[in-house]
Chain A
Amino acid sequence: MEDGNFLTDDFLRQLINVGEADILVGLPTHNNAKTVGSIVHTIRNGILRGFPRERAVIINADGGSRDGTPELITGVSIDDVRPPSNVYALRTLHAISTKYASTPQSGVALRTILAAAELLRAKACVVISPESEGITPEWISNLLRPVYYEGFDLVSPTYRRHKFDGLLTTNLLYPMVRALYGARIREAYMSEFGFSGRLGSEFLGQNRWNDGIGGNGTELRLTLAAVTGGFRICQSFLGKKDPVERRAADLVATLRQSVGVLFSALEFDFDVWSTLSGSHEVPTTGNDIELLMDPLRVNRKRLREMFANGVSELESVFQSILSASTLAELKRIVGLGEEQFRYPAELWVRTVYEFAAAYQKSVINRDHIIQALAPLFRGRVFTFVVENRNGSAKDVANNIEGLCLEFERLKPYLIEMWKSKE
């Protein structure tokens, strides 16, 4: 059992008052007053509908909100929710809030939720993103039921998303996790997920929380820990996921907490992933991929410009990371006109694998390696957008599948680089 020294006395007191719980809903927040009220309402509604007889608790781990977010969560009582089906909770539904820090840190928030789950001996837990405005009561059921009734340890979500939404997931995280870890998990970096108390306790004890990188991208670490630990994993379709509005500067931060975490995990899991080949389906409730095809304006010119600018300005950096042939190929495609320009799947996979190997060998500062990937990712986004702009949902799915197979095919190349001394 993890020691709960990092939990505040007040929080521990509140947990002791609760005693034990069957269901735990974790809600990490930071200044989410605009959305959190309706989300908590939906969560309570979901618990009332799906688990009216279970002892349930909402744990809010807050990263120093100044807009009254915690008060909104703890202030909503169970009586505020009047479900149309006249279902009422037979148990008290607790809502506890704790401030874990003055600044938001997703890893610490998750650690707080996991520790609370362990102390309350929760059987099934779910974490909900405070930004998921489109959440419905069914999300709670879909994430909790497989854990509570079917014995799964991790429920990863699948969503209905726009074909150009989540391109880092479809072009890198999903194919790479699938190729290396052998499990076809669509959303390895999860914003909503369900997990068992068993997995939570195991992860809480194992994860390197104090190594400086344990704080970021912990959701991805949890997925990988579940895969490498042999836990039962499934996917559950939730519904439409609204894209989170991001700016250009956010890409590097996103790469750090997703790709950076994946690259660093590869180092520790080498014995596992280097022996696996191929990949297997994960049990899925509902569709594992559902794409929206609405037209979307994308500034392709700017994407290509940033890619070309990155390749030319960062050549000295790429010389340390990439092989001569890959760099030469990148320089060649930079010279192509907008109509001819393509960042082919094979070249993209080689690039990503060479970045992963360079990260393992720390050829330069690791954070610089991750930052250097950003302009190349933009080039890949350009190609993906162009290749799929007129494609049907099936075409897009086939395109992603083709990329996944390329990642699987070139896996020996990564292992070879990983083992080489240079």
Chain B
Amino acid sequence: MQKMIISELTQAMQDLAKGFAHYLPRLLVMLILAFVGWLIAYLVKAILRSILRLIKFDRLSENAGASQLLATAALPSATEMLSRFVFWVTWLGFILLGVSVLGILGLQEQIARFFLFLPRLFVAVLILFFGMLAAGFAARAALLAAVNANVPSARLLSLAVRSIIMVFVLSVVFEELGLAEQTMLVAFGIAFGALMLGLAIAFGIGGRELARRFLEEKFVRIKKGHDEDELSPL
């Protein structure tokens, strides 16, 4: 009996040692991959940061309105954020590559899914950024046009333009990420429809006078009244 127990224990110890010996090189490879990954990620981050500074990415981000959002949330600049994001994604990629070397069953499938998800994540981030850029541009164009045409509530109009574009952009981003597609589709439909209906009612009720004045100015030759200050600039 005693002999049997000792034999089993010895066997268990031998299996453990064998398993350890089997995993140790893989663990070492994982650690090496993580370290090399950190170095590469750091290098990529530094290069990307320089490129972004060179192309004045912060100014683009300011135009898109992303910088204001980041500042409100007490986050670093857009250049820094994107550099860090790329650093972590790269490093995480290497760590997961290392983990896959360990050969843990089930984990490999998850890792493969993560790598398949990465391109979609990048595309979603790009869509979000350029969407914000387009929304910022259109909102500012609307604001300037409204102010110069002396339209009341110019900022509200600008905000409406920004909101419409951002709702559309966010719906595309979520669809790209594959997150709650159905929910997002319905939410987008409701939000967009509500916004349009709201604008139509607001313009219908509040803009009657404005529309009348606009049409009069466009099609009827009215006597000089409020236009009497329009001195020839050149």
Residues of A participating in the B interface, judged by any CB pair closer than 8 Å: 164-169, 173, 189, 191, 243-252, 254-255, 258, 296-300, 302-303, 306, 309-310, 313-314, 317, 320, 363-365, 368, 371-372, 374-375, 377, 381
Contact = CB atoms under 8 A, between A and B. Distances in A.
A166 B141 CA distance: 27
B226 A299 contact: yes
Given A252-B148, A313-B147, A368-B141, A303 B232 contact: no
A173 B234 CA distance: 9
B144 A371 contact: yes
Interface in B47-102: 59, 62-63
28 contacts: A165-B231, A165-B232, A166-B232, A167-B231, A169-B233, A169-B234, A173-B234, A246-B230, A246-B233, A247-B217, A247-B227, A248-B227, A249-B148, A250-B233, A251-B230, A251-B233, A254-B233, A255-B233, A258-B234, A298-B228, A299-B226, A306-B150, A310-B148, A313-B143, A313-B154, A314-B144, A317-B140, A374-B148
Contacts of A299: 226, 228-229
A317 B158 CA distance: 12
A306 B147 CA distance: 8
A249 B226 CA distance: 13
Contacts of B143: 313-314, 317
B149 A248 contact: yes
DSSP class of B's interface residues: helix, strand, loop or mixed?
A: helix
Contacts of B120: none
Nearest to B137: A365
A302 B148 contact: no
A377 B234 CA distance: 13
B133 to A, nearest CB: 11
A173 B233 CA distance: 10
B155 interface: yes
Nearest to A371: B144
A309 B63 contact: no
Contacts of B141: 365, 368
* In the complex, the 8 A-B pairs of residues with the closest C-beta atoms, listed nearest first: A168-B233, A299-B229, A243-B232, A371-B144, A313-B154, A374-B148, A299-B228, A254-B233
Q: Which of B155, B227, B234 has the most CB of A within 10 A?
A: B234
A371 B155 CA distance: 16
A386 to B, nearest CB: 12
Contacts of A189: 234
A165 B229 CA distance: 11
